[in-house]
Structure 1
Amino acid sequence: MDQNWMNFPRGSKGFKAALNIFLNGYFTKNAIGGQIFCPCKKCSRRFFHSRDVVYDHLIVDGFVKGFREWVVQREASSSTSNDMSGINDQNTYDDIDGLLHDTFIKVEEGLNGDQGVPSEPNEEAIKFYKLVEEGKQELYPGCKTFSMLSFIIRLFLFQVLNGLSNTPFGDLLELLKEVFPMARLPKSYNESKNIIKDLGFDYKKIHACPNDCILYRKEYEGADVCPKCETSRWKSKNVPAKVLRHFPLKPKLQRLFMCSKTAGSMVWHDKERTKDDKIRHPAYAQSWKDFDETYPDFKIEPRNVRLALASDGFNPFRTMSVAHITWPVVLISYNLPPWFSMKPEYFMISLLISGPKSLGNDIDVYLRPLIDELKE
């Protein structure tokens, strides 16, 4: 589609007609929960909005500077790159077989090798067999649309997109079991979480000093008192005063390379991008070029992962009367093209830090598990 209409007067019939056509296609390919990052000048692709709101914003404020060029380049790249085809295809059924293949590709390769199935499957193989079996189970007798596993995954997606906490999620499960007694559904939130955790949706709990001095790991793992401020590790018996949640990074990166839909795009920054003087991606920036000159061995292999780190604190309870703040630490792969890397589904949460106060410079204490993981 010719994008010159973006330069038309925003009140003209031509602009409005073309905008409707553009938004129809854009929402079909990019919407998450019926919303996209609004490309108007004020939102500048920072905030999610519905189609009607985006339409109004673009009529009033117009597109953010550079968006037209970005759309043109994206369309050109999409038409020339085979790796891009099929990324946004909408399938009627969830590809659970593909999901399991991408998650346990090494297990499958071992099972299909010359040695056959081992007499005593290892832990990964046991997880694979278990999920394959659950993926084959019909949600209810005669159901061809969902398996038990695919339905649970969709429920968790529904929870995330609609901001449901664990309690209403559990209540929803109970209601579904009551309405559809023939359906194979987990009894509780914890049971459903245990089913999908083998797909990599799991984290490690690391106890922390309530004054943000240390993490109780490595040399401090067995300590009950902080060696720096002498504050107790425990709030009450067997209840830690503060907990850091660490989401391992390696499995997430491995899946980017294992998944057939993203593996080719992990070298986009080196192989596919248009190389000119326009900055459309961090790979065009001088700091990126300086890094390549400083570390030429790293540059040689385009599959080496380049990550951005972002973090900010917020009150998840949406009320100032509760003294609590949560700091998510999010990683973004800049190997991917911007139309992937800037999508929420490609954001990788690494750490979740919760407590009664802002961290400030003490955040470096909580970054140690991530730093150690990157050094491995």
Structure 2
Amino acid sequence: MTSMTTIPTSSSAPLTNALRSRRLPVWALVAIGVAAAVLAVLLFKVAGLMDGGWVLTLVGAVLIFLIGLSVISSVVEGRRAARNRVATSLIYSAFVLALVPLVSVVITLLNKGRTRLDGTFFNNSMRNITAFDSGGGAYHAIVGTLEQAGIATLITVPLGVAGAIYIVEYGRGRLANTIRFFVDVMTGIPSIVAGLFILAFWVLIVSPHLSSTHQPFNSGFAAALALFVLMLPTVTRSTEEMLRLVPASLREGSFALGIAKWKTIMRIVIPTALPGIVTGIMLAVARAAGETAPVLLVAGGTPNRNFNPFEGNQESLSVYIYDQAAAATKYGPPRAWTAALTLVALVLLLTVVAKLLSRRTKLNQK
């Protein structure tokens, strides 16, 4: 009969207590962070080691915190726990440092853009207003941006989503690979190239046949076409990735119930991927709303109101910002900052509305 050896329980208890006791308390982490911040201020601000402003001070504080945490954690907890804490702190530090530019942009926009947040700015155009006048507004630019981005979205979304559905659900072989290749190539096209393409094709070739004078003309619709060229690859690629994330079991279950493939796509696949599709669409809209070069080439820009996107020059917020920021007067930059804040607010509002609508549609289908 084989004898069984038992492990003494007395040896495991001290080990457990040792593991529990060798942990840095929360107050120690806070103390290391405060000490790192104070030391960074002393080095970069008081001593004037490197005059890099508060951004460099923040980066220095993070580096000092990581070094101090690594040393103290190695002494108290051991090297393995120290490496884990440093890796975790690096992840959080990278997140905080990534937020710094975003927060800085938002604070700068709110600080400088509020100077012209008044009724005059939103109810008046720049007609008969020079760079040396204090009045004027961006009403005509807001209308132009909404019309151009809206027309581009109406053209892009059906084509982009349909192209992604074909690539994922129907496309096979060389044709699907070719379409995917050209979509990837179009993603990297500079915006000025899209503007030049619409200028050469629509403005110089097509528009004379649509004019009674047979002369080429700029228009907001031409700007919408240029934005469409920029938005299409983004919408197609993002929609394709979202459709690929839909589990195949959902499709198979629908097919097992005898549901047609097109109905499965419309009622199951697309609603499941709808939040991601909406996110991709809004990213494309945000990029299109902020484009300046193609709009400046084919829309021309104007200080007057033009509600007709199919005839005559039309302004946009991006072109308005470009013109006002270039004005060498004290009245131009405040108008540019307020227009930039308005553009960001419009994109944010559209994104929130689109997210709410997609969420409501998904809940209704459940």
Larger radius of gyration: 2
Higher normalized strand content (fraction of residues)? 1
Same fold (TM over 0.5): no
The bucket for the TM-score relative to the shorter chain is under 0.3
Q: Structure 1-normalised TM-score?
A: 0.22
